[in-house]
Structure 1
Amino acid sequence: MVVVSFPDSLLLHAVGDISGVEAVLWDLVAGPATDERIEVVIAPYLGAAQALDAVADLPACRLVQLQSAGYDGVFDVVPERIGVANAAGVYDAPTAELALGLTLASLRGIPDAVRSGDSARWVPLGQRTSLADQRVLIVGYGSVGTAIARRFNAFDVSLTAVASRARAGDDLVDTVHGIDELPSLLPDHDVVVVIVPLNDSTHQLVDEAFLAAMPEGALLVNVARGPVADTDALVRHAGRLRIALDVTDPEPLPDGHPLWSAPDVLITPHAGGNTTALLPRMAELLREQLTTVAAGDAPRHLVRPIVKT
């Protein structure tokens, strides 16, 4: 039997019984584990990097399964002897939905309409920008980026994709450009959606030069991580550009921060993945992963391999 710790009973019950798996509850935030037999730790949904240092005290632990696609900060606290798997695929649809929703809301002036409605006033929006015929650049063409492209494709846009390295295209784009091509691509696009992982090479990728290269009136949508963008640069370019953010740096964004009142800025409070689709899709992933581990095989989505002893 493989002993697996779950961070809460809701997730444990959603996953259900799995042959070859003994499930135990361990709230990593509440205190140290009381069961030294734990071999697989399922991280909490929020604050994984802050809680996972406790796994270092588990002698039998060989795998941490994250409930997030991102894993920034996790390697700093989880010992190298322990493998790490992320939740790739779980957030594709919800994040893609929000990226599209932020884009449509910003282009069509929905925040202005809501503000007018709050004061019970009919204020015409005037002519707004249609998503149709816009040139859309997706920066970060992994599984979430592809899901975003698939949804945007239904809106009669032209699509360009960028990844860490150039490669062949797919059914949505003729080619995938390398990130080194960004300076020449940015001036020719009306909507730029950022969905890169946060690492040393993407920290403040969206900086002064990035934003200055975007044409006036273009829209930046960040559904990646807050530190991917330089917040001070965002404030400086707000108004010249439209900006829609699901993530900020710092996060939570403090009350009264200049970004809240900057012109043409729409902010959602890191809500991309938290939908009704989350629990059933997470439970399905965990059932697949734990069934594989119980059979003695390597799980999918390893971002750091399991060290064999």
Structure 2
Amino acid sequence: MNPRFLLPYPPEQIGGLPAGLDLLVWDDEGEPPPQRELDGVEFFCLPYMRHPAALALLPRLPALRTVQTLTAGTDDVLPHLPPGVRVCNARGLHDASTAELAMTLILASLRGIPGFVRRQAEEFWDQTFQPALADRTVLVIGYGSIGAALEARLAPFECDVLRVARTARESAHGPVHGIAELPGLLPAADVVVLLTPLTPETRHLVDADFLARLKQDALLVNVARGPVVDTAALLAELESGRLRAALDVTDPEPLPAGHPLWRAPNTLITPHVGGPSSAFLPRALRLLRSQLLRAHAGEPLANVVR
């Protein structure tokens, strides 16, 4: 018997699917399919901008065997799943978009673009000296596929890259240091980019001790998850003027009105937009098509994280 798939996109949009697949479509807008149809769902692809309605649907899927996310991180999904349900993430899907945003945050922060935008609104010509990315050292923490995509974009900017992952290894671009080596690498970094998943080990990885090891005026870029950074410790460094930050993710998130991060000196904040860009949909459809073809053929799925 063919598995039943619950998808956020219609099959004609995904394209290249064999006839006969048992498909339901729901993008978490409007009412979900009736319960008699949900009872047979074995494979559920969560909508990308998933709302509480999508997670609330999980207990209504008694036959569920696989959840496919369209995000690289799964920390916000796993607590809602019963044991035995396989989880596949979207490794590779966001490489281009997230690496592009990380580059944007680095360059905008170093070259003082937020300040120039404010001066433009004031019609004030403010010519100042700003640091360049050239000749700097960029430390990438959580070096995986997005880290490699970021390094490819950093290559023309005449900077050095240090790579850190959970365990030491060799990559196509050079050695990757293990996380145990991180304290000794921090003092060399002019820019630190966080790309780690949120796990018990990485929660508050960036704490007061981590930040104290960074040099004066170092830039911290977080495009990972907000709780990887201890917000209180970061605020202390920002308000003292010692460090800079560019944050696409925060803790708490969404960042509430009145939170001191909004007005912290030398801080650029974007509202978790590393993934949502025009690069998302074609890559999401390719990933989903590949997974559906694998499942239909009885082949192992890619990107299994649990």
TM-score by length of 2: 0.92
The one-letter amino acid paired with 1:180 is A
2:203 maps to which residue? 203
Superposed CA offset, 1:258-279 (max 9, x none) = 1111110000100101110101
CA distance in 2, matches of 1:243, 1:161: 19
Moved more, 102-111 or 34-43: 34-43
Superposed CA offset, 1:179-208 (max 9, x none) = 111111101111111100000000011111
Using the TM superposition, give the Cα deviation of residue 154 of structure 1 relative to its aligned residue in structure 2, in angstroms.
1.8
1:85 maps to which residue? 88
The one-letter amino acid paired with 2:5 is V
8 Å contact 2:69–2:89 — kept in the other structure? yes
8 Å contact 1:69–1:91 — kept in the other structure? yes
Q: How does 1:125-274 map to 2 (within 5 A)?
A: 126-168=128-170, 170-173=171-174, 175-238=175-238, 239-274=241-276
CA distance in 1, matches of 2:271, 2:246: 11
Q: Do structure 1's residue 4 and structure 2's residue 5 form an aligned pair?
A: yes
Q: Report the secondary structure of 1:152's partner residue.
A: helix
Q: How does 1:35-54 map to 2 (within 5 A)?
A: 35=37, 36-47=39-50, 51-54=54-57
Moved more, 205-214 or 147-156: 147-156
Moved more, 78-87 or 19-28: 19-28
CA distance in 2, matches of 1:227, 1:253: 12
Gaps of 5+ in 2: none
Moved more, 147-156 or 130-139: 147-156
Taking only the aligned residue pairs, the percentage that are identical comes to: 47
Using the TM superposition, give the Cα deviation of residue 240 of structure 1 relative to its aligned residue in structure 2, in angstroms.
0.7
Using the TM superposition, give the Cα deviation of residue 59 of structure 1 relative to its aligned residue in structure 2, in angstroms.
2.8
8 Å contact 2:28–2:51 — kept in the other structure? no
Q: Report the secondary structure of 2:177's partner residue.
A: strand
1:115 maps to which residue? 118
Superposed CA offset, 1:121-153 (max 9, x none) = 2111x1111101101110011111111112112
8 Å contact 2:72–2:94 — kept in the other structure? yes
CA distance in 2, matches of 1:27, 1:155: 40
Superposed CA offset, 1:23-79 (max 9, x none) = 212355766652122121110212468733532332322111111110003222112
2:58 maps to which residue? 55
CA distance in 1, matches of 2:116, 2:250: 24
The one-letter amino acid paired with 2:236 is R
Using the TM superposition, give the Cα deviation of residue 2 of structure 1 relative to its aligned residue in structure 2, in angstroms.
3.0
The one-letter amino acid paired with 1:196 is T
8 Å contact 2:28–2:50 — kept in the other structure? no
8 Å contact 2:28–2:53 — kept in the other structure? no
The one-letter amino acid paired with 1:5 is L
1:302 maps to which residue? 304
1:307 maps to which residue? none
Q: Report the secondary structure of 1:4's partner residue.
A: strand
8 Å contact 1:153–1:172 — kept in the other structure? no
Q: 1:269 to 1:3 in 2, by over 3 A?
A: same
Q: Do structure 1's residue 98 and structure 2's residue 97 form an aligned pair?
A: no
Superposed CA offset, 1:161-194 (max 9, x none) = 00011122x3322x11111111111011111111
8 Å contact 1:6–1:26 — kept in the other structure? yes
The one-letter amino acid paired with 1:298 is P
Superposed CA offset, 1:271-296 (max 9, x none) = 10111010111001000000110111
